[in-house]
């Protein structure tokens, strides 16, 4: 049994193909922008790994923990916190696929006044560097 933070780091590493240190920065990019209540709320919709997106990675994590039983809140794949990872967790995650934490809480990804598009991904946000695309 892995701890919640280990699962988050592992899945973010796998998803973005980054080192543990970079994965920590990605997760920090979400946690510095949103309160713990907001991240907890978004987690309850299916963001198992707390990376701000509800996608196939989260479903995979639920699948990997399917059948798990234990203390509610201990396993992040148990998104409805009832102490079991089962079809209910999978269905919550399934129907929220495609949601992201920025849209959900109405936090826009910044666009510059000059009409240039600023792409601000969680990893870049955490390093304080912004990519400027023409
Ligand atoms: Ca996620
Ligand atoms: Ca559950």
DSSP per-residue codes, 29-85: HHHHHS-HHHHHHHHHTT-TT-SSB-SHHHHHHHHHTTT-B-STTSSTT-TT-SSB-
User: pLDDT value at position 27?
Assistant: 76
Better pLDDT: 115 or 70: 70
Residue 111 pLDDT > 60: no
Residue 110 pLDDT > 80: no
Report the separation in Å between the CA atom of 102 and the middle of ligand 2, taken as the mean of its atom positions: 25
Report the separation in Å between the CA atom of 67 and the middle of ligand 2, taken as the mean of its atom positions: 9
Better pLDDT: 9 or 100: 100
User: pLDDT value at position 116?
Assistant: 37
Residue 130 pLDDT > 70: no
Give 32-66 pLDDT, tens digit per residue.
Answer: 788 889 999 999 999 999 889 999 999 999 999 99
Which three-class secondary structure state does DSSP give residue 26?
helix
Report the separation in Å between the CA atom of 59 and the middle of ligand 2, taken as the mean of its atom positions: 13
pTM for the complete prediction? 0.69
Q: Is the dihedral of CA 19, 21, 22, 28 positive or negative?
A: positive
- State the fold for domain 4-106: Type 1 dockerin domain (1.10.1330)
User: pLDDT value at position 126?
Assistant: 52
Spatial CA neighbour of 62 closest among 31, 16, 95: 95
Which three-class secondary structure state does DSSP give residue 114?
coil
Report the separation in Å between the CA atom of 96 and the middle of ligand 1, taken as the mean of its atom positions: 11
Spatial CA neighbour of 44 closest among 96, 2, 105, 7: 96
* 58-67, long-range: CB < 8 A, 24+ apart: 58/93, 59/90, 59/93, 59/94, 59/97, 60/11, 61/7, 61/11, 62/89, 62/90, 62/93, 63/90, 66/90
Give 80-97 pLDDT, tens digit per residue.
Answer: 999 999 999 999 999 999
């Amino acid at each position: 049994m892995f701890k919640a933070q280990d699962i988050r780091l592992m899945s973010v590493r796998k998803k973005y193909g980054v080192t543990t240190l970079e994965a920590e920065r990605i997760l920090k990019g979400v946690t510095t922008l949103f309160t713990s209540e907001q991240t907890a709320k978004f987690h309850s919709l299916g963001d198992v790994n707390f990376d701000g997106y509800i996608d196939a990675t989260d479903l995979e994590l639920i699948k990997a923990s399917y059948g798990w039983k234990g203390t509610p809140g201990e396993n992040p794949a148990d998104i409805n916190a009832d102490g079991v990872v089962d079809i209910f967790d999978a269905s919550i995650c399934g129907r929220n696929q495609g949601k992201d934490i920025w849209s959900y809480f109405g936090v826009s990804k910044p666009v510059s006044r000059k009409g240039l598009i600023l792409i601000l991904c969680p990893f870049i946000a955490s390093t304080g560097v912004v990519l400027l695309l023409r």
